[in-house]
Amino acid sequence: MNRLGSTDVEVSPLSFGGAAIGNLYTEVGDQQSYEAVDMAWQQGIRYFDTAPHYGLGLSERRLGEALRQYPRDEYTISTKVGRRLEPVPDATGDDLANGFAVPADHRRVWDFSADGVRRSLEASLERLGLDRVDVVYLHDPDDHAEQAFAEGYPALEKLRSEGVVGAIGAGMNQAEMLTRFAMDTDVDVVLCAGRYTLLDQSALDDLLPVADECHTSVVVGGAFNSGLLADPRPDATYNYSRAPQELLDRALRMKSLAERHGITLRAAALAFCAAHPAVASVLVGARSADEVRDCAEQFATEVPMAFWGELLESGLLSSGKES
């Protein structure tokens, strides 16, 4: 287990991301989602992440239900604030425009105000069926930086000082603003999705060195860049869109190299994310017990040093933003 910043909150090196069990892109049954969480527990995963955004609260409800059988002090759970959910009376249609195969019976309201943060957390606790969460992140404040820094962050800081939460942070798909959080605030952790992978090392430019210096922990999400590094094929996705041919070709070459060294590309992708000293946990999203088991097995795989050497020599691993 690894501590987040200077807090007493601990996370497992491999963690469970709850977007998929919130019906990300396609429906997942209740039982299948519970089995995925159960398998995570069996594999030693003790850190679980969710958010109101994931399936309009469905992920939180399912995760809370699945974890209810386990001792509360034996796992760490995080959720996020910044998008409040408001009911939509007589709603029709689905939420696929936002990526989730659920009825559009609520709408998301951006709100990083102090009141919004507290209201969002209270609603999350109700959906989770818990009296506390361990970590709260400001969720995707990209277009709301002023309110997030001036109101949202101080609200989280107050919740932490009151002992309501153990650790606070921000979670985003970019590295630049997370670097600002690490430098200019007293966050314990940042969740960086997709910006520190075999195909995109832009978090190395500033975020990871700054986080290391500031003793801010990093949780890395999106290790597979939304699919391309898990299974590179012509219809694979990269950052939630169809993968560009150049990146697909690079991923296929990486896969071939990995197989020559007796490992999978998935194992290499996870090992790469976990290796940096600032990284406390690698967050993987899974929608089934089989996917969880596979991720755990790949994470436990030892990647030969010769693979890394050849990867660098071949020019397949480049520093900075993807090219």
Strands 83-87 and 106-110: antiparallel
Whether 137 is a known active-site residue: answer: no
For the cut 80, the answer to whether the pLDDT of residue 140 exceeds it is yes
Q: What does the alpha-carbon distance between residue 115 and residue 87 come to, in Å, rounded to a whole number?
A: 18
- Asked if residue 219 has pLDDT above 70, the reply is yes
**pLDDT value of residue 320:** 47
What pLDDT does residue 237 have?
A: 87
What's the per-residue H, E or C state across 9-43? CEECCEEEECCHHHCECCCCCHHHHHHHHHHHHHC
Calculated CA dihedral for residues 112, 114, 119, 125, nearest 10 degrees? 90
Q: Which of 173, 141, 175, 176 is nearest to 156 (CA)?
A: 141
18-51 pLDDT per residue, tens: 999 999 999 999 999 999 999 999 999 999 999 9
Q: What is the pLDDT of residues 155-202, one digit of tens each?
A: 999 999 999 999 999 999 999 999 999 999 999 999 999 999 999 999
pLDDT at 322: 45
- State the average pLDDT for the chain: 95
* pLDDT top residue among 289 and 318: 289
Domains of the chain as residue ranges with CATH: 2-313 (3.20.20.100)
**Rounded (5°) CA angle 139-145-146:** 135
Residues 203-219 as b or e (16 or more Cβ within 10 Å = b): bbbbbbebbbebebbbb
pLDDT of residue 226: 86
Q: What is the mean pLDDT of residues 284-312?
A: 96
What number is the average pLDDT over the span 123-149? 97
DSSP 247-306: HHHHHHHHHHHHHHTTS-HHHHHHHHHHHSTTEEEEEEE-SSHHHHHHHHHHHTSPPPHH
For residue 301, is pLDDT > 70? yes
pLDDT at 132 over 80: yes
Note the helical H segments in the chain.
Answer: 30-42, 58-67, 114-128, 145-147, 153-161, 176-184, 207-214, 245-260, 265-275, 289-299, 305-313
- For residue 239, the model assigns a pLDDT of 85
Residue 68 has pLDDT above 90, yes or no: yes
Range 75-88 average pLDDT: 97
On the question of pLDDT at 323 being above 80, the answer is no
Residue 191: phi and psi, rounded to 5, are: -105, 110
Q: Judge whether 65 and 34 are in contact, CB under 8 Å.
A: yes
The pLDDT of 224-252, averaged and rounded, is 91
Q: What is the pLDDT of residues 248-258, one digit of tens each?
A: 999 999 999 99
**Which tokens sit at 157?**
């800081």
3-state secondary structure of 243: coil
| Strand pairing report for 2-3 and 10-11 | antiparallel
Kindly name the residue from 34, 47, 54, 196 that is annotated as catalytic. Answer: 54
User: Which H helix or E strand runs over 1?
Assistant: none
Beta strands 167-172 and 135-139: pairing type?
parallel
As a whole number, mean pLDDT of residues 257-273 equals: 97
